[in-house]
Amino acid sequence: MEVKQEAEWVEAQKIFTSVDLLAAAKQQLRFLDAVDKNRWLYEEPALGKAIYRYNACWLPLLAKHSESPLFEGLLAVPLDCEWIWHCHRLNPVRYNSDCLDLYGSNLDNSHVVSSIEGTCTRQTEEVWSRMYPDEPFHFDVSRALSPLGNSDQSVTVVEKCTKYDLVAAVKRQIPFTYQVSRPHMSHHVFLEEAVARYKGFLHLIKRNRERSIKAFCVPTYDIDLIWHTHQLHPVSYCKDLGALLGKILEHDDTDSDRTKGNKLDVGFSGTTKQWENTFGTRYWKAGGMYRGAAPSPVTSSHFTSNLSSKGTAQLKDYPGTIHLPQKKTVEVL
């Protein structure tokens, strides 16, 4: 690293973020792991119900609590709503505009406790039950997944509802979870380096903006993890990036085509070259690169079969059921 390159790196590390990104990244990884253990949140019909609850229940409750606290203490968020909220915030420009259009302010997470923290939810549940007497605080998984459950047409009617495609947003985050679900990702030293590299990444974007250079900067997965972490704190992200760049930095995760010569490939090659020329260090990061597509998951039914009960569902009602061959016993003499 030459003197000029070292000076650039030192300058990059001066970038201020108003969030403890290291601690928040560890929490994000724990949350993604919790969601991945509840894979019904990835697919219909539960996904649609979760999106309905997010729009119809969680955002109005959060807006009301943000405007005037409903009680002392932190607001607890149900796991399903937190997952949809997570994906919505990862489009910071759209999330900010949706919040302003629907509720008049950027709804933050500063007074919210994550569903994975195991904090008492009694106060939030009491407020929730008063506001939504027909909708339980905790997601009714069995009812949402059961083909025999009553179809609730009201899920399509919400007074205030974002037009952002939250289903597509969720689908884009599922492969990201796989990419960062490796043990070393939560290691303290690895995350410390990731935070430093994220600041370096922002520095490149700042330099491009100063020089009026239009470039599609592509992060490695360690950097992207920290970038996601920052976005999950919407008010801080808008404030920090506004101070640094004069605008909210958009997070474009819609392109997943890694074919050589396409936008993602060209952008990554350009980012690599700029990084190595600017800082004099290697952009490629062991443990932070694309690890290939996620393998098809082995799924199991959420339900326990009770075929002897009158009126219960038959196996044909569950298209995902795996039928095992009949076990045969052979006696060896």
- Please give the tally of structural domains in the chain: 1
Nearest Cα to Cα of residue 113 among 68, 73, 67, 71 = 73
Phi-psi region of 104 (alpha: psi -120 to 50; beta: other; left: phi over 0): left
Kindly state whether residue 108 falls inside one of the protein's structural domains. Answer: yes
Kindly state whether residue 311 falls inside one of the protein's structural domains. Answer: no
Kindly state whether residue 155 falls inside one of the protein's structural domains. Answer: yes
Kindly state whether residue 322 falls inside one of the protein's structural domains. Answer: no
pLDDT band, residue 254 (cuts 50/70/90)? confident
Kindly state whether residue 296 falls inside one of the protein's structural domains. Answer: no
With 0-12 / 13-18 / 19 or more C-beta atoms within 10 angstroms meaning exposed / middle / buried, residue 319 is exposed
Kindly state whether residue 120 falls inside one of the protein's structural domains. Answer: yes
Residue 312, pLDDT score: 45
Q: Which residue has the tokens 């009491």?
A: 126
Host domain of residue 216: 3-279
Kindly state whether residue 321 falls inside one of the protein's structural domains. Answer: no
pLDDT band, residue 322 (cuts 50/70/90)? low
Per-residue pLDDT at 320 exceeds 60: no
Q: Which helix (H) or strand (E) holds 76?
A: strand 75-76
Alpha helices, DSSP H, located in the chain: 3-12, 21-36, 46-53, 59-67, 79-89, 92-103, 122-131, 141-145, 166-179, 188-210, 221-231, 234-245, 263-279
Q: Give residue-wise pLDDT tens across range 142-181.
A: 888 776 554 554 455 677 899 999 999 999 999 999 999 9
Kindly state whether residue 298 falls inside one of the protein's structural domains. Answer: no
Q: In whole numbers, what is the pLDDT of the chain averaged over residues? A: 89
Q: Give residue-wise pLDDT tens across range 2-51.
A: 999 999 999 999 999 999 999 999 999 999 999 999 999 999 999 999 99
Q: Which helix (H) or strand (E) holds 113?
A: strand 112-113
Residue 154, pLDDT score: 44
Q: Give residue-wise pLDDT tens across range 267-280.
A: 999 999 999 999 99
Amino acid, res. 261:
G
